[in-house]
A = this chain, B = another copy of it.
């Protein structure tokens, strides 16, 4: 990429003189480095791996992310590297019927103030890292953040350089812990474990040009069926096809019931039969998935306390979601923008440097409820996709009904969000599930959902 693009970044000096340390150089950390350096802060980012990298393949960004990327001045790079789907189509995986289509056209763009874009995870990370560099962030790889101590005037961060094998301390005003689902900073706030969902994901990218069956694909397509789903969309301007197959692992559930969960739950043998109750098309498409790796899907319980002194956990360190609402990366980007925006606002109010303790408290008040809602609603959304029997038929009809009668109402809370509006500050109850879902609890890993409907429609449809 030419240096000329850097001139388009909207850099200010609102946070000049502030030193922000970031643990973790994934999408969240890179977004944090970009958003803070764009405001003139000095940013020091430490990534434990020797290079910046993202595992996985495609990633979806709704208008809630689009608007932020636009504000950061990197939108055109994202669009150039990604793909703008025309629709998101949901199909019943048992019958193939198209039960709901989200049209990403003009009405959508006007309503949500942004578009929907899909992009390769590594492309998104590259763009954010490159822009953060252009904005002046100092990025270090092969350096792990190991500990942090809040001091009178900020935070001392203990780092370990893997090349020199030396430990040292850097001092900053604040530490943003974007260090992922297995964060070393999260245990300062809570002693918890990841929550396995019993679902496993297989992914794969392939050349669209060599795939005549899919060459017309312009949409994000999701086939949702009992205990499984299958996603397809183009990447890189339509060069690549991205596919994701996700299904519930009997091997996990059997192991859990027997008291010993095998390491390889969700293995290739399970994949081979996971779509037997779905239309042939899906069964055959699974052949293109990578077989040498798979992802056992987990999240964590929502966390309402993110701040310990001048340390705050953000991104997956604070709120790793299941993938169903396709908002994990955007949530981390929202965190990044929220910290920068609130710090700028506080600095303006104070007429000088921000009061970081107040800023972090406000970020937590805004972001924790928002992310809790995405996490819990995401679990529900997954359960909705994976229903069988009568509930599946009702779900299909509800989707058809939304298709006829309008679906914006269901997405406004998610895609219409802007952290600068402080919707949750002072109204943390907005982070709860919608009233109609209160009392619902996470049943994805309940075996019952698997056995509930002996007279399932899919059996008859085979």
Q: Which residues of B contact A391 (CB under 8 A)?
A: 387, 390-391, 394
Q: How far is the CB of A459 from chain B (nearest CB, A)?
A: 8
Q: Given that A384-B390, A405-B401, A440-B390 are known contacts, is A452 also in contact with B460, CB under 8 Å in the complex?
A: no
The one of B397, B437, B460 in contact with A398, judged by C-beta atoms closer than 8 angstroms, is: B397
Main secondary structure of the interface of A (DSSP, over half): helix
Stretch at the interface among A108-116, A124-132, A327-335, A443-451: A443-451
Alpha-carbon distance between A437 and B392 when the two chains are bound, in angstroms: 10
Contact B442 A448 (CB under 8 A): no
A269 within 8 A of B: no
Among A438, A440, A459, A461, chain B packs the most CB atoms within 10 A around the CB of: A440
Q: How many copies of this chain does the complex contain?
A: 2
Q: Which residues of B contact A442 (CB under 8 A)?
A: 455
A393 within 8 A of B: yes
Q: Given that A383-B390, A390-B391, A441-B460 are known contacts, is A451 also in contact with B448, CB under 8 Å in the complex?
A: yes
Alpha-carbon distance between A448 and B380 when the two chains are bound, in angstroms: 21
Contact A390 B380 (CB under 8 A): yes
Question: Would you give the 0/1 interface string for A316-345, flagging 1 where the beta carbon is closer than 8 Å to chain B?
Answer: 000000000000000000000000000000
Q: How far is the CB of A131 from chain B (nearest CB, A)?
A: 41
Q: Given that A448-B453, A448-B454, A451-B448 are known contacts, is A436 also in contact with B397, CB under 8 Å in the complex?
A: yes
Q: Number of contacting residues on A, CB 8 A?
A: 39
Q: How far is the CB of A434 from chain B (nearest CB, A)?
A: 9
Alpha-carbon distance between A458 and B441 when the two chains are bound, in angstroms: 11
A56 within 8 A of B: no
Alpha-carbon distance between A203 and B447 when the two chains are bound, in angstroms: 38
A428 within 8 A of B: no
A366 within 8 A of B: no
Q: How far is the CB of A379 from chain B (nearest CB, A)?
A: 10
A402 within 8 A of B: yes
A457 within 8 A of B: yes
Contact A393 B457 (CB under 8 A): no
Give me the interface of A with B, judged by CB distance under 8 Å.
Answer: 380, 383-384, 387, 389-391, 393-398, 400-402, 404-405, 436-443, 446, 448-449, 451-455, 457-461
Ordered by A's residue number, 25 sampled pairs between the chains whose C-beta atoms are within 8 Å are A384-B394, A387-B390, A389-B443, A390-B391, A391-B391, A393-B437, A394-B394, A394-B395, A396-B436, A400-B436, A401-B405, A438-B457, A439-B457, A439-B458, A439-B460, A440-B455, A440-B457, A440-B460, A441-B455, A441-B460, A442-B455, A443-B453, A443-B454, A443-B455, A449-B452
